[in-house]
Structure 1
Amino acid sequence: MENFIFSLNATVPVFLVMVLGYLLYRKKMLTAEFVKVCNSLNFKVTLPVLLFKDISRASIQEEWDTKMVLFCAGVTVVSIVLIWVLAKKLVKDRTITGALVQASFRSSAAVLGVAFIQNIYGDAGMAPIMIIGCVPLYNIFSVIILTFEGNGDSSSQNSKIKDSLTEILKNPIILAIVIGLIVSLTKLKFPAIVDKTVDSVAAIATPLALLAMGAGFEGKKAMAKIKPTIAGAFIKLIALPMVFVPLAAAMGFRYEKMMAILIMLAGPTTVSSYIMAQNMDNDGVLTSSIVAATTLLSSVTLTGWIFLSKSLGWI
């Protein structure tokens, strides 16, 4: 019972904030414009500031874990390649391949990963280390897959690749990680007024992101293209953690490290995958359906994975 309560305490508060966002939207206290602005604000400002704060103030030289970074990166690459190869062989409708592959591997590691770990441990813990290992690869592979599997004319592919790679290099989350690492390694100190400002902005990142995700949830879209939606949700929430979480345990990852890896593998699909699919001539409806389905179902599956991991002494 203690492990079950621990699991509920880890996941339920996070999803309740999302439910609150959903209810406030239905009561017209929040609007579609609010969701749009919040998603942009979270992506460009609050979440990068939160990650910068946690990384820049950490003793990276002491906390840096090459083994974990390489594990997260290796698992990310292997899972993406396997999903893409299987999709190419098994999916008959080629127009949905890119969207299905991206939505099946691209976890909400930054937003929900930080939220869950903060909820359990009080700070972002090992989330930044996990993010360093997987988020840049999520972006790079998404560009590659959506470009080659896109439904637009091939003449525009070179331009799309160039523009998308430029956007990757300007990604606020990646930039925040790099700048945070530089500050941490150089042991640069800021005046108290700067630190307090950073703290204030970082404090709103997680609740604002969760409210926006809840307000932007569209349950009806989860019913569109139901078969590939179920397939993508199964891969994201069940198959990936089933294969790689025991491997992580066998390699000795425990507690905060295991929690970060678990969120990376079993967390819901990130909403940014929908924006990318739409902008690169892939199936936005299917992507939105998988985002909606994984967000809803992960409240059950992720609680289950945390309960199992806690019972086995992994977290």
Structure 2
Amino acid sequence: MDSFIYSINATIPVFIVMVLGMFLKKTGMLTDEFIDSGNKFNFKVTLPCLLLRDMANTDFNIGKDLYFIILCAAVTFVSIIGVWFLARIFIKNKSLVGAFTQVSYRSSAAVMGVAFMQNIYGASKTAPLMILGAVPIYNIMAVIILTVEGNKDSEGRLIDGNSDFKFKDIVLRSLINIAKNPILLSILAGSLISVSGIHFPHILTKAVSSVANMATPLAVVILGASFSLNATLENIKPVIWAVTTKLVILTIIFLPIAVFLGYRNEELVTFVIMLSSPATPSCYIMAKNMGNNGELTASVVVLTTLISSVTLTFFIYLVRVLGLV
């Protein structure tokens, strides 16, 4: 029961803020113009500041914890490739492939994951290690996938009508988008700051932190305002599959591997949280700004945030019952 209450306390407040966004959109206080501008502001300013701050504050002196970081990175990469491969085969509406893939694998590890670990352990040394292993791959692969799959119609043709788009053109476009993507640039800059040990004036770090603190609440409000029940029902099958993949399937596949490798207690709980946390609101920001389906993304983020309070609690309860924690 304690684990369930902890999970509820971590997920339901976020869901309530989403509902606030829905309500404000219905009343007309939040307009479509505000939502579009807010998405761009989040994508280009607040989210990069958040990632810059978090990466700059990450301790890269990893030592004996390297194997756990490698495990998180390897599982993240394999799950992404697997979901993407299957999505390209089985999803009939090819315009949904990019959004479906991203929202099926990308956990809110840096925000919700840390909240869960703080609720369970008070403080955690393994959560930053998990973030270091998974989050950069989340973001890098999201840029690649959303670039390759973006701006396509239901048949998989580019909306600009260029049906002769060659593989080398896709690679070139992906490289260009990666090179100028504010998310990846902020991760790189933050990592360099952490490794170099540079300390900026308190005034500057305070300003960056103030902007960073806007990222998650603003994203959640806009996410709620962008949620459409009709769009959810129109894409109900991929929505259900994405929610199930994010919250259940990946955990069922990869949790036994971590157990087999001998991980227990806090490391195992951190691993469960990495796999079973709800999809991050930044999925919507990136999908919307990179020519992918924002409605599908919003639907899955909202539903995973609500349902994860039950599914994540179940997996934590399961490892406790099995005597692994």
Pair in the same fold by TM > 0.5: yes
Could you tell me which residue of structure 1 aligns to residue 309 of structure 2? 303
Q: Any conservation in 2 of the 1:80–1:101 contact (CA below 8 Å)?
A: no
4+ residue runs over 6 A deviation: none
Could you say if the C-alpha distance between residues 261 and 145 of structure 1 is closer, same or farther in structure 2, counting changes exceeding 3 Å?
Answer: farther
**RMSD of Structure 2 on Structure 1 (CA):** 3.4
| More displaced 10-residue stretch of structure 1: 32-41 or 98-107 | 98-107
TM (norm. structure 2) is 0.78
Q: Any conservation in 2 of the 1:72–1:133 contact (CA below 8 Å)?
A: no
| More displaced 10-residue stretch of structure 1: 222-231 or 181-190 | 222-231
Q: Any conservation in 1 of the 2:113–2:273 contact (CA below 8 Å)?
A: no
Q: What residue identity is the alignment partner of 2:174?
A: S
- Residues 69-107 of structure 1 show CA distances to partners (whole Å, capped at 9, x for unaligned) of 43343223323443344456555x3xx246236514445
| More displaced 10-residue stretch of structure 1: 255-264 or 162-171 | 255-264
Could you tell me which residue of structure 1 aligns to residue 138 of structure 2? 134
Distance 2:2 2:150 in 1: 44
Gaps of 5+ in 2: none
Distance 1:233 1:224 in 2: 15
Q: What residue identity is the alignment partner of 1:114?
A: A
Q: What residue identity is the alignment partner of 2:204?
A: V
Residue 12 (1) aligns with residue 12 (2): yes
Could you tell me which residue of structure 1 aligns to residue 222 of structure 2? 212
Could you tell me which residue of structure 2 aligns to residue 281 of structure 1? none
How many residues align? The count is: 303
Distance 1:206 1:87 in 2: 28
Q: What residue identity is the alignment partner of 2:227?
A: F
Distance 2:40 2:20 in 1: 20
Q: Any conservation in 2 of the 1:21–1:211 contact (CA below 8 Å)?
A: yes
* Amino-acid identity (%): 30
Q: Aligned-pair distance for 1:277?
A: 4.8
Could you say if the C-alpha distance between residues 84 and 38 of structure 1 is closer, same or farther in structure 2, counting changes exceeding 3 Å?
Answer: closer
Q: Aligned-pair distance for 1:273?
A: 3.0
Q: Aligned-pair distance for 1:267?
A: 2.5
Gaps of 5+ in 1: 279-283
The secondary structure found in structure 2 opposite 1:154 is: coil
Q: Aligned-pair distance for 1:138?
A: 2.8
| More displaced 10-residue stretch of structure 1: 219-228 or 112-121 | 112-121
Distance 2:59 2:80 in 1: 31
Q: Aligned-pair distance for 1:12?
A: 0.9
Q: Aligned-pair distance for 1:20?
A: 1.3
Q: Any conservation in 2 of the 1:241–1:262 contact (CA below 8 Å)?
A: no
Residue 156 (1) aligns with residue 165 (2): yes
Could you tell me which residue of structure 2 aligns to residue 39 of structure 1? 39
Distance 2:193 2:64 in 1: 14
Q: Any conservation in 1 of the 2:223–2:298 contact (CA below 8 Å)?
A: no
Q: How does 1:245-260 map to 2 (within 5 A)?
A: 245-251=255-261, 252=263, 255=266, 258-259=269-270
Residue 117 (1) aligns with residue 113 (2): yes
Distance 2:206 2:71 in 1: 34
Q: Any conservation in 2 of the 1:19–1:214 contact (CA below 8 Å)?
A: yes
- Residues 140-165 of structure 1 show CA distances to partners (whole Å, capped at 9, x for unaligned) of 24444569983234323454542332
Q: Any conservation in 1 of the 2:144–2:178 contact (CA below 8 Å)?
A: yes
Q: Any conservation in 2 of the 1:104–1:235 contact (CA below 8 Å)?
A: no
Q: Any conservation in 1 of the 2:39–2:222 contact (CA below 8 Å)?
A: yes
Could you tell me which residue of structure 2 aligns to residue 273 of structure 1? 287
Could you say if the C-alpha distance between residues 266 and 197 of structure 1 is closer, same or farther in structure 2, counting changes exceeding 3 Å?
Answer: closer
The secondary structure found in structure 2 opposite 1:30 is: coil
Could you say if the C-alpha distance between residues 184 and 254 of structure 1 is closer, same or farther in structure 2, counting changes exceeding 3 Å?
Answer: farther
Could you tell me which residue of structure 2 aligns to residue 2 of structure 1? 2
